[in-house]
Structure formats: structure tokens, C-alpha cells
Amino acid sequence: MTVEILTPEALLFKGEVTGVTVPGAKAPFQLLDHHAPIISILTSGEIKLYEGKKELKTIAITGGTIEFNNNKAVILVE
């Protein structure tokens, strides 16, 4: 899947991963390749990007939104 993580000032990450974990409004959740479409609010926590079982990158956020559609996640964060 393709993931883009953006702030109002910069592009923090753009690339291909096999999974992403985000801090959802009620609890953290994970998206894997070809997940069903979703839009969600994110709370304070960490976004974790994975390639297979290996964690590629962790990004701390204070909140934001995620939209996942057509195997692409766009994450807007504060």
C-alpha cells in the first residue's frame, strides 16, 4: 500500500509499506494491504509503518485524520 503522512508544513513520509498502525479515536488500529475503505479521526499517539514484520518508522502525532481508499492511505497530522 502507499502511505502519505502530511502536516500543514511538510511531507513527513511517502512510500510503500505492508501495514500501518494509527492511534484511532477509540483505540489504535492497523491497516494492511487492500483494507476496506475507511475515514477516521486520530488522537495523540504514534503512527507505526511496517514492511512485513519489520517496523520501518515511528512518527509521534498529537492528532489528525486518515483516509484509506484504493490501497492508499493519506494521513493528515498535527
What average pLDDT does the segment 9-23 reach? Answer: 97
pLDDT band at 34 (very low <50, low <70, confident <90, very high): very high
Provide the number of structural domains found in the chain. 1
Largest CA distance in the chain: 31
For 65, the grid coordinates are 485524520
CA distance 56 to 49: 5
pLDDT band at 60 (very low <50, low <70, confident <90, very high): very high
CA distance 69 to 78: 21
| pTM for the predicted model, two decimal places | 0.93
CATH number at 16 reads 2.60.15.10
What pairing do the DSSP bridges indicate for beta strands 54-61 and 19-23? unpaired
The residue segments making up the domain with residue 42 are 2-77
